[in-house]
């Protein structure tokens, strides 16, 4: 089976540290879970970094910091994994689905402007498949309209826009450490921010409500901590992100040169964007059924999947809000993500695609 992605970390990278952690008996709240978020913050160029158990809990935590009531609205990029909107729904606020560009797959600034009301508290901008195109424009609109910008950078570690890395731009940024991502601990998440007030709150809220210096329970909070072993895995990889991204960009270039002549259209990025290629995703030609192509590839032991989901078209949200966004729906139905990892046999995958379409 040619897999979609393989982890960039192996046993030999972590053998010594694993032994050290197990021998020490310090399985949580030790040096690795302290050092790893600091390293992530340093890498992306943010003042503060915090670990969580996933991007989902990171996003949920950030929305809790903003404080949402039942009348409040959160504007959400409509082309994403359902976690992006689930956290809004879970907190009792109203998600407002903002359509995306068919080229970059990211939130359309005009549609955002049109949908912001006085009830808008936050905007959840998604770096679709790791691509931060349009982020600066969205940040400007949010600033002007007094809306907190939370970047769902679940897929975007290593990406940047105008020379600034994802994680250093929005008010709060959330990363995922799930195995489909370039930096993985199995599960996990990171929040980065430059805002000292948010950072003070996060120190308390992520620690059961306890003030870190006095130990007094000055608030209520949660345990979204990451343990030592996964933190150590993350720390072992963070120094290699740029190298991993460069390799993926090369592999994606090989895909493009084979598939564009067949009518496949690669996800686009703005000129000022450096895209980490978390996913190698194409819009299939009109003459091709994406589902049939996926079925064909899988029958030839090649793993593939859709780009991602149209949130407003997920059964629950469609039934409740009846607000399906046309571009996001189009992308959900016409995109395919192909395997990408160190040493992926690009030509074998492209041969199979070519055999199917011709």
Kindly list the residues in this chain that would bind ligand PLP in the complex (CB under 6 A): 54-56, 80-81, 83-84, 126, 152, 154-155, 176, 178, 180, 189
Q: What dihedral angle (degrees, nearest 10) is formed by the CA atoms of 79, 84, 86, 87?
A: -160
Contact (CB, 8 A) for 245 and 277: yes
Identity of the residue, 86 or 168, whose beta carbon is nearer to ligand PLP in the bound complex: 86
CA 243 to centroid of chain Cα atoms: 19
3-state secondary structure of 167: coil
Rounded least distance, CB 147 to ligand PLP, Å:
19
Identity of the residue, 123 or 352, whose beta carbon is nearer to ligand PLP in the bound complex: 123
Rounded least distance, CB 352 to ligand PLP, Å:
25
Greatest CA span in the chain, whole angstroms?
69
Rounded least distance, CB 12 to ligand PLP, Å:
26
DSSP letter for each residue of 63-114: HHHH---TT-EEEEESEE-THHHHHHHHTT-EEEEE-B-TTT-SB-HHHHHH
Rounded least distance, CB 281 to ligand PLP, Å:
12
Identity of the residue, 56 or 106, whose beta carbon is nearer to ligand PLP in the bound complex: 56
Sheet of strand 94-98: strand arrangement = 48-52, 189-193, 172-176, 148-152, 120-126, 73-77, 94-98
Identity of the residue, 155 or 284, whose beta carbon is nearer to ligand PLP in the bound complex: 155
Identity of the residue, 151 or 346, whose beta carbon is nearer to ligand PLP in the bound complex: 151
Rounded least distance, CB 312 to ligand PLP, Å:
15
């Amino acid at each position: 089976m040619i897999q979609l992605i393989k982890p960039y970390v192996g046993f030999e990278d972590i053998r010594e540290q694993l032994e050290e952690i197990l021998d020490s008996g310090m399985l949580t709240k030790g040096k690795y879970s302290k050092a790893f978020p600091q390293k992530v913050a340093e890498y992306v160029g943010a003042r503060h970094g915090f670990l969580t158990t996933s991007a989902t809990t990171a996003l949920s935590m950030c929305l809790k910091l903003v404080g949402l009531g039942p009348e409040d609205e959160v504007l959400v990029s409509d082309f994403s994994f359902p976690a992006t909107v689930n956290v809004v729904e879970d907190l009792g606020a109203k998600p407002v689905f903002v359509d995306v560009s068919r080229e970059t797959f990211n939130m359309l600034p005009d549609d955002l402007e049109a949908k912001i009301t006085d009830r808008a508290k936050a905007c959840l901008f998604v770096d679709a498949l790791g691509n931060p195109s349009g982020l600066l424009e969205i940040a400007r609109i949010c600033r002007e309209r007094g809306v907190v910008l939370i970047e769902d950078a679940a897929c975007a570690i290593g990406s940047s826009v105008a020379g600034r890395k994802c994680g250093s731009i929005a008010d709060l940024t959330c990363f995922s450490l799930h195995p489909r991502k370039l930096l993985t601990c199995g599960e996990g998440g990171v929040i980065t921010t430059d805002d000292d007030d948010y950072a003070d709150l996060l120190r308390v809220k992520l620690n059961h409500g306890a003030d870190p210096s006095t130990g007094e329970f000055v608030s209520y909070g949660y345990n979204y901590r990451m343990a030592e072993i996964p933190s150590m895995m993350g720390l072992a990889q963070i120094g290699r992100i740029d190298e991993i991204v460069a390799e993926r960009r090369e592999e994606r270039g090989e895909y493009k040169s084979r598939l564009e002549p067949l009518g496949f259209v690669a996800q686009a990025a703005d000129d000022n964007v450096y895209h980490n290629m978390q996913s190698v995703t194409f819009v299939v030609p009109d003459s091709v059924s994406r589902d049939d192509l996926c079925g064909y590839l899988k029958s030839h032991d090649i793993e593939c999947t859709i780009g991602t989901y149209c949130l407003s078209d997920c059964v629950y949200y469609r039934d409740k809000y009846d607000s399906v966004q046309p571009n996001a729906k189009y992308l959900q139905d016409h995109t395919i993500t192909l395997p990408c990892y160190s040493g992926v046999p690009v030509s074998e995958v492209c041969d199979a695609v070519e055999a199917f379409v011709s």
